[in-house]
């Protein structure tokens, strides 16, 4: 099904974070949790197969690209979504870029410099694990630049994404929405598991203390940067199975709509001789 | 099982292409084709799961890298191997680079410049679809540079790969070996399938006419560049199921041997309080 109308932030409309339910399951109404999970699992697998076919066509067509942006609080599941929802994509033709603290070189440039450099080439799918939105999220929350600077960025981002869009790159943005209580559970689980403990940092707790500031920064980004050419989708992410399913459905539906075409060829197979 | 001793080109030993059987199935002795295929399929799936765990540890360890080099004639299955044998790897932390005709910028540099730039960072797995070997394969066959230039490259490549190896990157090289007859079948199949016809180019036939020259160029590369620090493996590739299994086994065995470790942490989970 096409979940986009259910989860998209309508361009130009106000966003209230308290109205976004991290445990909602739009598209799964009337199903028991067990049935919904079963259905989600089956459809994620079917979508993976279908996405492999569509990706191959996108690559053959070599005319357009797809950019997927993932944002969300710590533990919201950006890494897990990449593992679970995109497993069908061929490594070749799909590149994940994780944006961390800018290097010295990057910090010496405008904030979109490193982002633009990582934009997917024609025929490919790019996945951004965090992206230019960090420059209106962590940067705003920690006041790393004056308000006058980050305030201008929303319009700059919209212009940049429109530019990507008109030059052939479909831009799909996902905000993985978790609750404060769920984050606590996940941090505790991370600490408890020796295979995952290395991911834990005391910094996570410091960031968590700014939860409300982050929610206000996300609110502004969702409200001001959900556009016709690059809409935001809010993915309820307290339940991992729903999060994976919703992202998988939206990516598949977007690729279907892009409808990439194997380029026509003039070759007449019958006329071609391949010597022994 | 560890197929490496069976398929590795022993460093320093002569290579005769006619001794390499593209239909061989080392490690599957005594099994019917049906049983061998079943076993291969099961083990490729199990290896994918295992590789996912080991990749995660490699990433957490963040100290070493793995570089996988794929070379082979047109239709030998470089793309197919990436799809089939590496499906378990997380897109994040695994990057495929396809080396095509050098850009003007690249052609203005030494031949290893673009290769080095694409080497995997610590904690990651890099897959090269074609690589610096093109500079002693197509370049040699088509005499794009004088013999004196390509002759020097074997030693330069060995030095470069030793450098990668001592600085923490395990280098694993696969030559996908197909027969001339099998290539013909695959080119015909490509022509016959409307979803695949776009991959066909008349250039493929021109290159095929130089089969013997290519075999001599591969022979030299295998013989002169199979080293202790970066051995070549010859993968019999007329049967796709065997090719996928062999590559999957060798990559898994190599990761097991690397034995990446989750870094130890001083954190005492009991001492950490995560506020509600």
**Min Cα–Cα distance to chain A from B262, Å:** 7
The average pLDDT across A112-124 equals 97
pLDDT given for residue B118 in this prediction: 97
Considering only CB atoms, A197 lies closest to which of B52, B205, B267, namely: B267
Place of tokens 């995660």: B56
Question: Is residue A62 included in any domain, yes or no?
Answer: yes
Q: Nearest residue on chain B to A189, judged by CA atoms?
A: B269
Q: Are A259 and A58 in contact (CB under 8 A)?
A: no
Structural domain count of chain B? 1
A5-57: pLDDT as tens digits: 999 999 999 999 999 999 999 999 999 999 999 999 999 999 999 999 999 99
Element (H, E) at B66: strand B65-72
Question: Is residue A249 included in any domain, yes or no?
Answer: yes
pLDDT given for residue B20 in this prediction: 97
B152-185 burial: b if 16+ Cβ within 10 Å, else e: ebeeebbebbeebbeeebbbbbbbbbbbeebbbe
**Contact at CB, A265 and B200, closer than 8 angstroms:** yes
Percentage of chain A lying above the pLDDT 70 cut: 100
Give the strand pairing for B169-177 and B65-72: parallel
Question: Is residue A69 included in any domain, yes or no?
Answer: yes
**Contact at CB, A205 and B181, closer than 8 angstroms:** no
A234-272: pLDDT as tens digits: 999 999 999 999 999 999 999 999 999 998 887 888 888
Q: Nearest residue on chain A to B80, judged by CA atoms?
A: A90
A177-217: pLDDT as tens digits: 999 999 999 999 999 998 889 899 899 999 999 999 999 99
**Min Cα–Cα distance to chain B from A149, Å:** 32
Q: Are A173 and A232 in contact (CB under 8 A)?
A: yes
- CA–CA separation, B186 vs B200, rounded Å? 10
Q: Are B200 and A268 in contact (CB under 8 A)?
A: no
Question: Is residue A273 included in any domain, yes or no?
Answer: no
Mean pLDDT across chain B: 96
At A159, list the tokens.
């212009």
DSSP letter for each residue of A76-96: SSHHHHHHHHSTTS-STTEEE
Mutation for testing the B interface, residue in A91, A210, A271 having most B CBs under 10 Å = A91
Q: Are B239 and B176 in contact (CB under 8 A)?
A: no
SS3 A108: coil
Considering only CB atoms, B95 lies closest to which of A95, A265, A269, namely: A95
Considering only CB atoms, A267 lies closest to which of B86, B200, B265, namely: B200
Show residues of chain A in contact with B90, CB under 8 Å.
82-83
**Contact at CB, B197 and A267, closer than 8 angstroms:** yes
Question: Is residue B206 included in any domain, yes or no?
Answer: yes
Q: Are A69 and A171 in contact (CB under 8 A)?
A: yes
pTM (two decimals): 0.92
**Min Cα–Cα distance to chain A from B216, Å:** 19
Show residues of chain B in contact with A93, CB under 8 Å.
96
Dihedral in degrees, nearest 10, Cα atoms A192, A196, A201, A204: -80
pLDDT given for residue A206 in this prediction: 95
The average pLDDT across A72-97 equals 95
The average pLDDT across A58-71 equals 97
Show residues of chain A in contact with B95, CB under 8 Å.
91, 95
pLDDT given for residue A110 in this prediction: 97
List the one residue out of A263, A225, A265, A202 whose CA is nearest residue A134. Answer: A225
Residue B164's domain comprises 4-260
- CA–CA separation, B132 vs B115, rounded Å? 7
List the one residue out of A258, A235, A261 whose CA is nearest residue A248. Answer: A235
- CA–CA separation, B237 vs A22, rounded Å? 49
pLDDT given for residue B112 in this prediction: 98
Question: Is residue A255 included in any domain, yes or no?
Answer: yes
Axis crossing angle, helix A240-258 with helix A33-61, rounded to the nearest 10? 30
Q: Are B15 and B221 in contact (CB under 8 A)?
A: no
**Contact at CB, A205 and B87, closer than 8 angstroms:** no
Interface residue ranges in chain B relative to chain A, Cβ cutoff 8 Å: 52, 56, 60, 79, 82-83, 86-87, 89-96, 98, 127, 129, 180-181, 184, 187-188, 191-192, 194-195, 197-200, 202, 205, 208-209, 262-263, 265, 267, 269, 272, 274-276
**Contact at CB, A197 and B89, closer than 8 angstroms:** no
A149-185: pLDDT as tens digits: 999 999 999 999 999 999 999 999 999 999 999 999 9
SS3 A54: helix
What strand order describes the sheet that includes B65-72? B94-98, B125-129, B65-72, B169-177, B232-236
**Contact at CB, B275 and A197, closer than 8 angstroms:** no
pLDDT given for residue B269 in this prediction: 84
User: Which domain CATH number covers B92?
Assistant: 3.40.50.300
Question: Is residue B122 included in any domain, yes or no?
Answer: yes
Which residues in chain B land under pLDDT 50?
none
């Amino acid at each position: 099904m096409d979940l986009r109308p259910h989860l998209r932030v309508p361009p130009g409309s106000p966003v209230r974070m308290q109205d976004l339910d991290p445990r909602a399951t739009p598209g799964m109404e009337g199903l028991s949790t067990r049935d919904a999970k079963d259905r989600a699992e089956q459809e994620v697998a079917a979508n993976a197969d279908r996405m492999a076919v569509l990706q191959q066509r996108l690559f053959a067509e070599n005319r357009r690209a797809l950019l997927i942006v993932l944002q969300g609080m710590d533990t919201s599941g950006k890494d897990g979504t990449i593992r679970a929802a995109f497993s069908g994509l061929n490594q070749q033709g799909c590149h994940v870029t994780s944006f961390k603290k800018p290097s010295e070189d990057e910090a010496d440039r405008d904030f979109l410099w490193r982002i633009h450099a990582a934009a997917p080439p024609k025929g490919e799918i790019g996945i951004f694990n965090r992206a230019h939105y960090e420059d209106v999220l962590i940067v705003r929350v920690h006041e790393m630049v004056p308000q006058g600077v980050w305030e201008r960025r929303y319009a700059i981002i919209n212009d940049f994404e429109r530019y990507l869009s008109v030059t052939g790159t479909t831009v799909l943005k996902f905000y993985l929405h978790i609750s404060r209580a769920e984050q606590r559970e996940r941090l505790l689980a991370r600490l408890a598991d020796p295979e995952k403990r290395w991911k834990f940092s005391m910094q996570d707790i410091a960031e968590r203390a700014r939860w409300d500031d982050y929610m206000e920064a996300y609110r502004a980004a969702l409200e001001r940067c959900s556009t016709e050419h690059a809409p935001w989708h809010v993915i309820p992410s307290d339940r991992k199975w729903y999060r994976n399913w919703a992202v998988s459905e939206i990516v598949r539906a977007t690729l279907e709509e892009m409808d990439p075409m194997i380029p026509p060829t003039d070759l007449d197979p019958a006329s071609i001789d391949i010597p022994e």
